[in-house]
């Protein structure tokens, strides 16, 4: 099913909360870029990881979640499949979620390489969500967690409120810039028209970003 001569082993990991009305058929279509890349003919066939100990791609219909712990062998062109998958998952996601993707250089052997040789390992963090605000929220929460964990080596957690506030300010500015850019595409108020919002965009400001 996978290309064993591929230069990378690519591991996809994450958990995505799905809308209650999201069904298996919709999920199969959204994840088609992944299972098709693996050479499978369906999600059921392509959900199996290259490593037996990994659960692969799982749909929990009761909890309405997508669980990803799946490895495939491939090349740099897999990034295009990831982009297509994220665009489709945005339509099914109930909340913002992060997906970690690690590219392991399958051709690099540390014991055999020269001292100045470097592996091509890479790490990518992807985000999906029903709205830009939902995506920014999970980005904000992860950044706050990382910064607080790092700074708690030197400061008490209670001292870091100002740092968190500054992070929120940065995300508020980014959110406002996004909303303003979407406003440009809207017709003037009172101009008639259908009244729909263009771009599917802003929505509520993420919590904590006030």
CA atoms within 13 A on the CB side of 114: 2
Place of tokens 């299972």: 35
Instruction: Report the alpha-carbon distance of residue 112 to residue 109 in Å, rounded.
Output: 5
Residue 48 DSSP code: S
Question: What are the CA-CA distances from residue 96 to residues 29, 145, 191 (Å)?
Answer: 20, 16, 34
Average pLDDT, integer, range 175-188: 71
Asked whether the beta carbons of 178 and 202 are under 8 A apart, the reply is yes
Asked whether the beta carbons of 7 and 75 are under 8 A apart, the reply is yes
pLDDT by residue (tens digit) across 123-164? 999 999 999 989 999 999 999 999 999 999 999 988 989 999
Instruction: Report the alpha-carbon distance of residue 197 to residue 182 in Å, rounded.
Output: 9
Per-residue confidence (pLDDT) for residue 174, from 0 to 100: 85
Asked whether the beta carbons of 34 and 95 are under 8 A apart, the reply is no
CA 67 to chain centre: 12
Q: Is the pTM of this model over 0.85?
A: no
pLDDT by residue (tens digit) across 20-32? 999 999 999 999 9
- Token digits of residue 173: 């500015």
- Token digits of residue 80: 């295009």
């Amino acid at each position: 099913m996978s290309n064993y001569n591929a230069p990378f082993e690519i591991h996809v990991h994450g958990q995505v909360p799905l809308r209650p009305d999201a069904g298996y058929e919709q999920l199969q279509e959204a994840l088609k870029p992944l299972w098709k890349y693996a050479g499978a003919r369906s999600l059921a066939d392509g959900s199996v990881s290259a490593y037996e100990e990994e659960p692969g791609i799982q749909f929990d219909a009761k909890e309405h979640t997508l669980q990803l712990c799946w490895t495939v062998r491939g090349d740099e062109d897999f990034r295009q499949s990831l982009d297509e998958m994220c665009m489709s998952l945005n339509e099914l996601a109930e909340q913002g979620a992060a997906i970690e993707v690690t590219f392991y250089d399958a051709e690099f052997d540390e014991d055999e390489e020269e001292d100045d040789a470097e592996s091509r390992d890479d790490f990518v963090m992807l985000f999906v969500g029903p709205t830009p605000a939902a995506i920014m929220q999970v980005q904000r929460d992860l950044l706050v967690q990382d910064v607080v964990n790092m700074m708690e080596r030197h400061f008490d957690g209670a001292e870091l409120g100002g740092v968190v506030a500054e992070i929120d300010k940065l995300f508020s500015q980014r959110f406002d810039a996004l909303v303003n850019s979407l406003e440009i595409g809207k017709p003037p108020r009172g101009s008639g028209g259908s009244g729909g919002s263009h771009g599917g965009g802003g929505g509520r400001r993420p919590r904590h970003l006030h």
